[in-house]
Chains A and B, each alone.
Chain A
Amino acid sequence: MPHIWCPGCGNGIVTAALVRAIERADYDQRDVVIVSGIGCSSRAAGYLNFNTLHTTHGRALAFATGLKMARPELKLFVIMGDGDCSAIGGNHFIHSARRNIDLNAIVVNNHIYGMTGGQHSPLTPTGKKATTAPRGTLEREFNLLDLARGAGATFGARGNAAQPRQLEQLITRAANHKGFSLVEALSPCPIAYGRRNKLGGPVDMLKELKESSISIERATSKEETELEGKTITGVIYQDEVPEYAAEYYRSIGKEIPVKSGG
């Protein structure tokens, strides 16, 4: 199938993990909605055979909020890039988390604006180079999971394109969670990020992703010094808090149709 992604891009791996997770959740295809913003990763929506909504830059969660409130029985997965979600879409991101509306946000974090050719994003690590930070960015990056949690998100997980099985499981767990779920998927962009920062080719980038990651289960038995420079993966937090759409419908005394699957 023709697509716009460069060879070695992580977007395909993350998208495949999402599709397997949806399969695993056993939803009726007609109930599944893929919403996305604007960016390389967001083009995934156009490659999937569900109800697919490719929106405007940064606004995917706001479109999804309207759709979810109108049709609370639908299962929404919202694909965003790191810039899409945390820069231009930052406001919608924190407010979706605050409402605890049942949306599954999949943020493909490649640390860069891929589609526009490599400008820095709020998730570009300090010191890394971008076309708009040729000497390395002086800005500090967000910790996306902490940001979401601070805003009230009730499910936060991190995975990566180098460990697609784990990523798939994380998305499944996010789908099963009632409330706002965030899955941050670290993903290589060899073209707009890797090359400029001398991170090697796609294979090197995937290898590095894998080696620098440690699952939360394994991390708990480690000393803090041993975890330095490591990225923790897995479900980082999960709380049970009333979900917004369900609460709204309960408050107006209207029933939400029951649907199959997780």
Chain B
Amino acid sequence: MPETKPVLMQGNEACAEGAISAGVRFYAGYPITPSTEVAERMAARLPDIGGVFIQMEDEIASMAAIIGASIGGMRAITATSGPGFSLKQENIGYAIMAEIPCVIVDVQRMGPSTGVPTAPSQGDVMQARWGTHGDHPIIVFSPASVYETYYLTIAAVNLSQKLRQPVILLLDEVIGHMREKVTIPRDSRLMVEKSSDKVPADYKPYDEKGLTPLVPFGFGHYYHVTGLFHDQYGFPTGDPPQVERSLDRVHEKLEKYRDEVVLTNYIGHKEPRVVIVTYGCTVRSARAVVKKAYWNNREPVGLLSLQTLWPFPDKEVREIAKKADVIIVPEMNMGQIVSEVERHVKGEAEVVPLNRYDGEMISPDQISDIMGRWLS
């Protein structure tokens, strides 16, 4: 095990540190509350470790710049919040189609529009899923603590490299700005998962196998990168079978690695009657409730926290629905992940939404009130 040292830091800073531990050496971004500390940390740290920090003219450019850097072989990340996340969408779709690894951090704030810049929210869950046009796959993580932010950022970077797929980290204002202890391994090189660099002479970046590593520009392999549907070398095609193949390809790799991508955590009773399914900062209130009800009072309750929001943890939620009578889904929005839960539960359990969108966190009391009603 590497040596470790516990440090007190903010979620946003932990995100920056996680990225650095995972080998990220390129940051491009545009300031926006409540994400700015990610940029500031990167601006302070990257020059010392031979990395590149650049403040771009807007979020569209930031997204473009990290894709460009990634094609050059640097691990790259950008961070923003709602309004900037909206601007990045077209180029996120580009990265999906062209299969360029990159990580996008969205520290959610109240929206729509300029909203309440300093108030927490979980309103971008569906935007993260469907923000860019077309029938695309996406990976979205949502950490519930500073510690989880650090490790999920590392996972995001490595998965994005391995699957050549953008990964979105959906933080919220609470997690982004709260301070907690994180244990950072001293030898952070251990956190970098190397992708294979064995490449055949006739390199096809979009070949049939599906998980060919990206050979960066400048090493004598000539191929084309485009957002147009393309053949195995990346050249544009409008040929229907190849078009269909192009889209299947980006979906198949996620299906194949589904279990590596979908991360959840269950705590509580083995035979629960009421289970809370939630994510992000709301997990914190839910955990407080379950700790009291299960650990202190042995009530038949549990908590399934979703570190991965997309692809949606369908199997995990269905397993819960087989046991539980009731699934409570608290979210700081008007109900986004709850419809997904309902869709997969297929009536096997009662699904109860709990929504709050006044810029305040959902409190443990709010959750235990509802839970109590179903337990009595």
User: Which positions in A face B, CB cutoff 8 Å?
Assistant: 29-31, 33, 35, 45-46, 49-56, 59, 62-71, 73-74, 91-92, 95, 248, 251-252, 254
- Contact across chains for B57 and A30 when beta carbons are under 8 A apart: no
Residue B72 interfacial (CB < 8 Å): yes
A30 contacts across to B, CB distance below 8 A:
218-220
> B25: shortest Cβ distance to chain A, in Å?
8
- Contact across chains for A66 and B72 when beta carbons are under 8 A apart: yes
A56 contacts across to B, CB distance below 8 A:
64, 90-91, 94, 227
The one of A46, A49, A66 that contacts B28, using a Cβ cutoff of 8 Å: A66
- Contact across chains for A70 and B73 when beta carbons are under 8 A apart: yes
- Contact across chains for B50 and A95 when beta carbons are under 8 A apart: no
Residue B361 interfacial (CB < 8 Å): no
CA distance A31 to B220 in the complex (A): 8
CA distance A251 to B219 in the complex (A): 26
> B118: shortest Cβ distance to chain A, in Å?
27
Would you call the interface of chain B mostly helix, strand, loop, or mixed? Answer: mixed
- Contact across chains for A49 and B222 when beta carbons are under 8 A apart: yes
Top 9 nearest A-B pairs (CB, nearest first) are A66-B68, A66-B65, A70-B72, A62-B64, A67-B68, A62-B61, A70-B69, A51-B217, A71-B72
A74-B224 CB under 8 A given contacts A67-B217, A91-B58: no
CB-based nearest B residue for A59: B64
8 Å CB contacts to A: which residues of B34-85?
A: 47-48, 50-52, 54, 56-58, 60-62, 64-74, 76
- Contact across chains for B225 and A69 when beta carbons are under 8 A apart: no
Residue B150 interfacial (CB < 8 Å): no
| Range class of the B interface residue count | 35 or more
B364 contacts across to A, CB distance below 8 A:
none
- Contact across chains for A67 and B71 when beta carbons are under 8 A apart: yes
- Contact across chains for B50 and A70 when beta carbons are under 8 A apart: no
A71 contacts across to B, CB distance below 8 A:
72-74, 216-218
> A137: shortest Cβ distance to chain B, in Å?
26
- Contact across chains for A62 and B56 when beta carbons are under 8 A apart: yes
CB-based nearest A residue for B74: A70
The one of B28, B76, B218, B228 that contacts A74, using a Cβ cutoff of 8 Å: B218
Residue B311 interfacial (CB < 8 Å): no
Residue B226 interfacial (CB < 8 Å): yes
21 CB < 8 A contacts A-B: A45-B224, A46-B236, A51-B223, A52-B222, A52-B223, A62-B57, A62-B65, A63-B64, A65-B64, A66-B65, A66-B69, A66-B76, A67-B68, A69-B69, A70-B73, A70-B76, A71-B217, A74-B72, A91-B58, A95-B56, A95-B57
> B193: shortest Cβ distance to chain A, in Å?
20
CB-based nearest A residue for B50: A254
- Contact across chains for A55 and B94 when beta carbons are under 8 A apart: yes
A53 contacts across to B, CB distance below 8 A:
68, 71, 217, 224-226
Residue B26 interfacial (CB < 8 Å): yes
CA distance A104 to B28 in the complex (A): 21
B64 contacts across to A, CB distance below 8 A:
55-56, 59, 62-63, 65-66, 92
Residue B374 interfacial (CB < 8 Å): no
> B349: shortest Cβ distance to chain A, in Å?
43
Binary per-residue interface labels of chain B (311-337) against chain A in the complex, 1 for a CB within 8 Å, 0 otherwise:
000000000000000000000000000
CA distance A56 to B227 in the complex (A): 7
> A242: shortest Cβ distance to chain B, in Å?
16
CB-based nearest B residue for A60: B64
8 Å CB contacts to A: which residues of B102-122?
A: none
Binary per-residue interface labels of chain B (196-223) against chain A in the complex, 1 for a CB within 8 Å, 0 otherwise:
0000000000000000000011111011
- Contact across chains for B47 and A64 when beta carbons are under 8 A apart: no
CA distance A245 to B297 in the complex (A): 62
CA distance A232 to B206 in the complex (A): 45
A252 contacts across to B, CB distance below 8 A:
47-48, 50-51
- Other A-B pairs beyond A52-B222, A67-B217, 16, CB < 8 Å: A33-B218, A46-B224, A50-B222, A53-B226, A54-B224, A54-B225, A63-B64, A66-B26, A67-B71, A69-B52, A69-B54, A71-B217, A71-B218, A91-B57, A252-B51, A254-B50
CB-based nearest A residue for B235: A46
Binary per-residue interface labels of chain B (288-323) against chain A in the complex, 1 for a CB within 8 Å, 0 otherwise:
000000000000000000000000000000000000
CA distance A66 to B61 in the complex (A): 9
- Contact across chains for A59 and B91 when beta carbons are under 8 A apart: yes
CA distance A31 to B222 in the complex (A): 11
CB-based nearest A residue for B26: A70
> B77: shortest Cβ distance to chain A, in Å?
12
- Contact across chains for B226 and A46 when beta carbons are under 8 A apart: yes
CB-based nearest B residue for A31: B218
- Contact across chains for B68 and A54 when beta carbons are under 8 A apart: no
- Contact across chains for A52 and B218 when beta carbons are under 8 A apart: no
B76 contacts across to A, CB distance below 8 A:
66, 70
CA distance A62 to B227 in the complex (A): 15
CA distance A169 to B217 in the complex (A): 26
A66-B94 CB under 8 A given contacts A46-B235, A54-B226, A74-B218: no
A55-B72 CB under 8 A given contacts A30-B220, A50-B222: no
B62 contacts across to A, CB distance below 8 A:
62
CA distance A31 to B61 in the complex (A): 23
